[in-house]
Amino acid sequence: MVVVMDIEATEEQVQEVNQRLADYGFSSHLIRGVNRIVIGAVGDRSRMGEMGLELLPAVEKVVPIMAPYKLASREARGGPGQVPVGNTVFGGPEMVVIAGPCAVESEEQLMVAAARVGEAGARILRGGAYKPRTSPYSFQGLEKDGLELLARVGRKTGLATVSEVMDRESLDQAVAYVDMLQVGARNMQNFKLLKAVGRTGKPVLLKRGLSATIEEWLMAAEYIMTEGNGNVVLCERGIRTFESYTRNTLDLSAIPLVKRLSHLPVIVDPSHATGDRRLVPPMAAAATAAGADGLLIEVHPDPPRALCDGAQSLDPGQFASLMITIKQVAAAVGREV
Ligand code: PEP
Ligand code: MN
């Protein structure tokens, strides 16, 4: 860290800071500039808070240098990492496309969706069994029956599966059925849940919170990783802004930024980011061009009849044409689909 001190600081005040740093096991180095006195300090960052350096006289600010997300940081690995799920890998040369309905509604609905997205090149089947709905009167998901259907259809079509868990109860159910656990935007800071999914050791798809900063998102990943589970894939799904013509605002800059900060693969969900099926293909293409390691696309056999998120769902034909575009864009930036 760097401690910036007022140029008027007295020798005693500088000594007081140095002493405090030494008491906490930090080594320090003094730099006298023209406008500032700066003390560079090296030690255990987790003790920064308890030291209370900001409270000492003549200290202007304390600036941390190392990222607070130790396991998720790029330096922790020295390069990009890979997360295997089923027989596919996130973070490799191939972009991984996850597709399927917002919610599992019936065996027929899921089977048609799975067969068609698989044919078009999707590698993982999604389907919500426990749905976090804004209204308690909306369809809440088929729960355990939904997980059973997802597992059965996944087996039949050869697709790996992912489904959202909302709490300990849904987590305990889902571990036995799915290949990847999804933590949704609304639960990104449910720290107990993050630790619990971490303990399962299963790959986790961690969505960005509705209003989460990049650092908060990476700290959420850190919670999973501190339980010994490094198989985390981050998913940018749009953030809340003042704009009301789209459901959320897709933060495309998050892709290259997170890739610079972290070794974790990053995918993009243009369906929840826009809330509008007409905006999904161009945003999927943009995410691909920006270097996303994969996409999550909502696909329903009959979107007007969907029990959840029909307006943002593609039908299988629209999904197939999206995949053709994505393959071309991916090729242009040196990736495969
Ligand atoms: C979902 O993927 O079905 C979902 C609810 O997404 P989010 O958590 O991003 O809103
Ligand atoms: Mn949805």
Residues 11 and 92 in one domain: no
Residues 45 and 134 in one domain: no
Cα angle at 311 between 307 and 315, to 5 degrees? 85
pLDDT in tens, 192-222: 999 999 999 999 999 999 999 999 999 999 9
User: Given pLDDT bands bounded at 50, 70 and 90, which one contains residue 5?
Assistant: very high
Residue-level pLDDT at 47: 84
Q: 74 lies in a domain?
A: no
Residues 215 and 298 in one domain: yes
What contacts 165, CB < 8 A, 6 or more positions away?
A: 130, 171, 174, 181, 182, 183, 193, 197
- The domain in which residue 273 lies consists of 83-332
Q: 8 lies in a domain?
A: yes
Residues 170 and 37 in one domain: no
Dihedral angle sign, alpha carbons of residues 157, 158, 164, 170? positive
Q: 38 lies in a domain?
A: yes
Q: What is the number of domains present in the chain? A: 2
CA of 226 to the centre of ligand 1 (A): 24
pLDDT at 280 exceeding the cut of 90: yes
Residues 103 and 43 in one domain: no
User: Given pLDDT bands bounded at 50, 70 and 90, which one contains residue 186?
Assistant: very high
Which element (helix H / strand E) includes 40? strand 36-42
Residues 47 and 91 in one domain: no
Residues 184 and 296 in one domain: yes
CA of 206 to the centre of ligand 1 (A): 10
The angle that helices 191-200 and 214-225 make with each other, rounded to 10 degrees, is: 40
Q: What's the half-sphere exposure (Cβ side, CA atoms, 13 Å) at 184?
A: 19
CA of 86 to the centre of ligand 1 (A): 21
- 3-state SS class at 136: coil
Q: Is 203 in the pocket of ligand 1 (CB under 6 A)?
A: no
Q: What is the pTM of this model?
A: 0.90
Residues 43 and 175 in one domain: no
Residues 245 and 324 in one domain: yes
Average pLDDT, the chain: 96
CA distance 249 to 238: 5
Q: 78 lies in a domain?
A: no
Residues 120 and 243 in one domain: yes
CA of 253 to the centre of ligand 2 (A): 23
pLDDT in tens, 112-146: 999 999 999 999 999 999 999 999 999 999 999 99
**Paired tokens of 330:** 């991916």
Strand partners, 28: 41
Atom of ligand 1 nearest to the CA of 269: 9
Share above pLDDT 70 across residues of the chain, in percent, rounded to a whole number: 100
Instruction: Report the C-alpha dihedral over residues 16, 17, 22, 24, rounded to 10 degrees.
Output: 110
The CB-based long-range contact list for 330-334 (8 Å cut-off, 24+ gap) reads 330/95, 330/288, 332/289, 333/288, 333/289, 333/291
User: Given pLDDT bands bounded at 50, 70 and 90, which one contains residue 265?
Assistant: very high
pLDDT at 318 exceeding the cut of 90: yes
Ligand closest to Cα of 270 equals 1
pLDDT at 16 exceeding the cut of 90: yes
Ligand closest to Cα of 296 equals 1
What is the biggest distance separating any 2 CA atoms in the chain, rounded to whole angstroms? Answer: 77
Cα distances (Å, whole numbers) of residue 321 to 207, 313, 334: 26, 14, 20
Residues 179 and 318 in one domain: yes
Q: Is 267 in the pocket of ligand 1 (CB under 6 A)?
A: no
Residue-level pLDDT at 320: 98
Q: CATH number of the domain that 32 lies in?
A: 3.30.70.1140
User: Given pLDDT bands bounded at 50, 70 and 90, which one contains residue 35?
Assistant: confident
φ and ψ at residue 234, rounded to 5 degrees = -90, 145
pLDDT in tens, 42-86: 888 778 888 999 999 999 999 888 888 989 999 888 889 999 999
pLDDT at 226 exceeding the cut of 90: yes
